[in-house]
Structure 1
Amino acid sequence: MFKSLPAVLAALAFCGGLSAGKAQNFTPKVNEFIKVKANVIALTDATVLDGSGAPARQHQTVILRNGRIEQVGNAKKIKLPKEAEVINCTGKTLIPGLVMLHEHLYYTKPLDNYFNIAQMPGTFPKLYLAGGATTIRTAGSIEPQTDLALKRMIQEGKLIGPDMDVTAPYIEEAALDIPALNTIQGPEDAARSVNFWADKGCTSFKMYMHATKADLAAVVREAHQRHMKVTGHLCAITYREAADLGIDNLEHGFLASTDFAENKKEDDCPANARKSLQNLAVNSPEMKELQQLLISKGVAVTSTLPVFEPYTNREAVLGGGEAALVPEVRKKIVANWQAAQHKDSASAALFQKELAWEKQFYDAGGLLVAGTDPTGAGRTIAGYANHRQVELLVEGGFTPAEAIKICSLNGAIYLGREKEIGTIEKGKKADLVLINGDLSKDIKQIRQTEIVFKNGVGFDAPKIFESVQGIVGLN
């Protein structure tokens, strides 16, 4: 079957536009944030968490050449190329560039008393890269034309940011008063939306809370014909129903599941869904049966722990990102956080269950991927929240090596790009993150990110973070 020209162009764009072996030109504004730009780079004597899930390896040297990983091995056995720019990584950790699958280029921005969201094109792409995310999926768009343009401009070296799998506008029936949210009218309209946005360059699709089974069936049919995937933040459709209809991915761990709601009606979003999860035992056989069904159907589950993190005795802005916010926004978020202290015991208990359910799914062989979802109450910010997602996985019982794998290789596997990205491995793209500290001993050292290499070009993470302080919420 021959693909249409727009589909072919979209596929080429997603595969990188520029091959890793070719030099990339950057504008002067982007060059300001590049710390390392050499054809050959030697990262010596590092601790390496390679993204495979294997334990950390000490005293490793990694050679990068023309945007690719040329060698990885014991520092004493690797001969440094004479032409290499050498970076001493003693006491530091290298991890793969993060591959995060529930990111947005927008942020919470209420309209009167209604929940709403607004695009952050000037800050979020920068923050994602500074936080170590070299590849993201925008799991739901409100300005897809902006997302697609940003993707192109990043590829062309005009802007700072990660590689992007751009998701089309939400596929949602009219039900919620969220002004920025796209809506459709029935399965025929849903199918038309898939093909319209695929022709524009979007490469994945997301069902939302009030979409029906017929809507999902139409979207899966059209998307799969174009070799594209479908995810969902569901409610009216249960996880079991979605898996049976061929969905590829489910968002928000198990917290969006309505499978256990009493008297659940078909295509209805039940008001008692959250209560049903609160009443469900953490080791419930019913939950484990659902997990096994998802595994048998090959459905990935996306962990988005930061957006659900409780308030009490935790950070107001996750990952330490308070300084990034516009002062007026920060003041309001901190005030709401203070008011919520010791009033969120039910949320805290459910959050602990979610940590356990994600671990159960992973241990049973499920493909657990990760993202942050920078929406909610405004505590979740691009970049900073990516660090926090890794930390929270460790809080949930994963080893640091497993947490990095979930946030790198697993995402690459889902995107079908595991031969190119996701691990520190010979021949792969030189997407790596250099961190000042030993993550295998203290996962919070991930906040000490120094350099993010994308296609072998090293970006100054602290300088990028500094450049957008006080702006998030405005741009």
Structure 2
Amino acid sequence: MRRAALLAACAFGLTIAPLSARAEAWAIEHVTLIDGTGHAPQPDMTVTVDGDKITAVTPSALAKAPKGKVVDGRGKFLMPGLMDVHIHLHGGVDQKTDTVESRTQTLAGFLYSGVTTVYDAGNQTDIILPLRAAERAGKIASPRIFATGNLITYPGSHGTGMAVNIQDFEKDKDKLDKHIAEQQPDVVKLTLEEEGWGARPMITLMPEPLLRDIIRYYNLHGIRTTIHVSSELRAEEAIFAGTDSLAHPVIQGPVSDSFVKLMGAKKIPFASTLTIGENYSRLAEHPEYLDQPLYAATFSPADRQTLKTKTRAEYQARMWTAWMKLMTPVAEENIRKVWAAGGVVALGTDQSSGPASQRELELLVQAGLKPFDVLTIATHNGAVLLGKADQLGSVEPGKLADLLLLNADPSADIENVKKIAFVMKGGQIIDESKLPLAGGPQKRRFTP
């Protein structure tokens, strides 16, 4: 598998060239800085970038003479690139349109939408591993890709079809070793879910002792874990089994006060994933959202039409759509309570598009969180969940230069995160006119 991934990456290199200029030195002057850490917005700041790193963050009045190119940030707002820490990458809306080309279009669409890091929380290895290799080799225009590869579960449990199935820890340990050696997961995802809620039948649940053993084993190999849960009971069990993060909020019902206190005390980060549930009723009732500029740029006309007709009709007929419409506000309130108690929420969509990441921001504000707090959730907290806060998620010297320059204040209105002047990944300003977007060529937003 590892050899196959490397060969596929080489194949990418033959067909797809890097789509942004070489990283160089930049000085973004007189900008209002929202650094992602929760620090209040700082006016009239200068941020310098050299190569792929941020080198200085200082008041403009104290900044040294700029090296390299200068960006006038007056009236603009600088923040870290968005991080979506729960996706399942695919291209197109059905199996027929899910191709290598459409997946690279999807990744380009994340960049176009301001997302500079994604975590794929479970996928077929021949889909995600070659793309991760190609991204890290600079062969494709893509956010940074962190991936699980195959998730880990108990036979018959949630996600069993795309998982390494473990029944007995000692007897199956060689499967874990193979997963680690061949797939090199950045974070490993497990599932603790018996379903039996909404319109779903009951399924097999992973035994807690096995969950603890697997978490410990990956941690001893230096690999963080995240656990798929949907109920308070299973979330609590996952936390005390030693998980590093949760892949979802509690959605099966309102959380108890004791659980809220637990999340505030433990600081276990979890992905918000509101969009995946709200998406059903949104499409069923308001398909016109697909005409918004971000969707028009990042979805093909054919896929948008399929969503408005065939997929919409399927959603309108499903009991699951009504259930998720009912439960999404419950999940929103659970997130609000945990955030208010000091818990660590990170942006995740459980989907596969840049516009979905932007929609998640809107739903978090709808849940009652302030736009400024949502910016921390969408940046720094994603890095915390991934264990990469020393490298990503904030605008600080030494961090990787993954940045968004915005034309309006995102702390005043979360819609302003869409008003992008430029996206920078690793010190490179993205040239949108060269992105292979499914919606066709787009104008470049910023010319150096």
Q: Which residue of 2 aligns with 1:197?
A: 179
* Equivalent in the alignment of 1:122: 104
The match for 1:405 is 376
Cross-structure match for 1:302: 271
Question: 1:221 matched to which residue of 2?
Answer: 216
5+ residue gaps in structure 1?
A: 1-5, 7-25, 256-273, 281-285, 375-380
Q: Taking structure 1 as reference, are residues 69 and 320 closer, same or farther at Cα in structure 2, changes over 3 Å only? A: closer
1:247 is aligned to 2:217: no
Please state how far the C-alpha of 1:206 moved relative to its aligned partner.
1.3
Q: What is the root-mean-square deviation of aligned Cα atoms in Å?
A: 3.5
Contact 1:98-1:407 within 8 A present in 2 as well: yes
The residue number in structure 2 matching 1:321 is: 295
The one-letter code matched in structure 1 to 2:213 is: A
- Answer yes or no: is 1:292 the counterpart of 2:266: no
What amino acid does structure 2 have at the position aligned with 1:52?
A: T
Secondary structure, in 3 states, of the residue corresponding to 2:165? coil
State the alpha-carbon separation in 1 of the partners of residues 168 and 301 from structure 2.
44
Q: Is the 8 A contact 1:100 1:136 kept in 2?
A: yes
Structure with the larger helix share:
2
Contact conserved, 2:116 with 2:142, CA < 8 A, in 1?
A: yes
- Structure 1's 191 and 125: CA in aligned 2 closer, same or farther, altered over 3 A? farther
Comparing 299-308 with 326-335, which one deviates more in the overlay?
326-335
> Residue 388 of structure 1 corresponds to which residue in structure 2?
359
| 2:393 matches 1:422 | yes
> Would you say 1:171 and 2:168 are equivalent positions?
no
Equivalent position SS for 2:396: coil
Question: Could you say what secondary structure the match of 1:469 adopts?
Answer: coil
Deviation at 1:102, TM superposition (A): 0.5
Q: Which amino acid aligns with 1:414?
A: L
> Are the counterparts in 2 of residues 449 and 461 from structure 1 also a CA contact under 8 Å?
no
C-alpha distance in 2 between matches for 1:118 and 1:29:
14
Structure 1 letter corresponding to 2:422: I
Give yes or no for contact 1:190–1:215 (8 Å, CA) kept in 2: no
CA drift of 1:231 comes to: 1.3
Q: For residue 260 of structure 2, what is the amino acid of its counterpart?
A: Q
Deviations 1:346-368 (A, max 9, x none): 64442222222112112212121
Whichever residue aligns with residue 155 of structure 1, its letter is R
- Residue 269 of structure 2 contacts residue 381 of structure 2 at CA under 8 Å; is this kept in 1? no
**TM score, norm. by length of structure 1:** 0.75
Residue from 45, 66, 88 that aligns with 2:72 = 88
Q: Any conservation in 1 of the 2:53–2:426 contact (CA below 8 Å)?
A: yes
Rounded Cα–Cα distance in structure 1 between residues aligned with 2:261 and 2:421: 40
In the alignment, does 2:427 pair up with 1:450?
no
2:386 and 2:354 mapped to 1: Cα distance?
A: 20
| Within-5 A mapping of 1:134-145 | 134-143=116-125, 145=126
TM normalised by structure 2 equals 0.79
Higher alpha-carbon deviation: 214-223 or 299-308: 214-223
What residue number does 1:23 align with?
none
Is the CA contact 2:109–2:437 (under 8 Å) kept in the aligned structure 1? no
Q: Distance in 2 between matches of 1:179 and 1:315?
A: 35
Taking the aligned partners of 1:28 and 1:194, their CA distance within structure 2 comes to: 34
Name the CA shift for 1:179/1:202 in 2 (closer, same or farther; >3 Å): closer
**Aligned-pair CA distance for 1:442:** 2.2
Task: Report sequence identity in percent.
Answer: 24
| Number of residues of Structure 1 aligned to a counterpart in Structure 2 | 406
Cα separation, partners in 2 of 1:461 and 1:373, compared to 1, 3 Å? farther
Q: Is the 8 A contact 1:450 1:460 kept in 2?
A: no
- Measure, in 1, the Cα distance between the counterparts of 2:368 and 2:308: 29
The CA distance in 1 between the partners of 2:82 and 2:119, in whole Å, is 11
Question: Which residue of the other structure, out of 190, 203, 215, is the alignment partner of 1:207?
Answer: 190
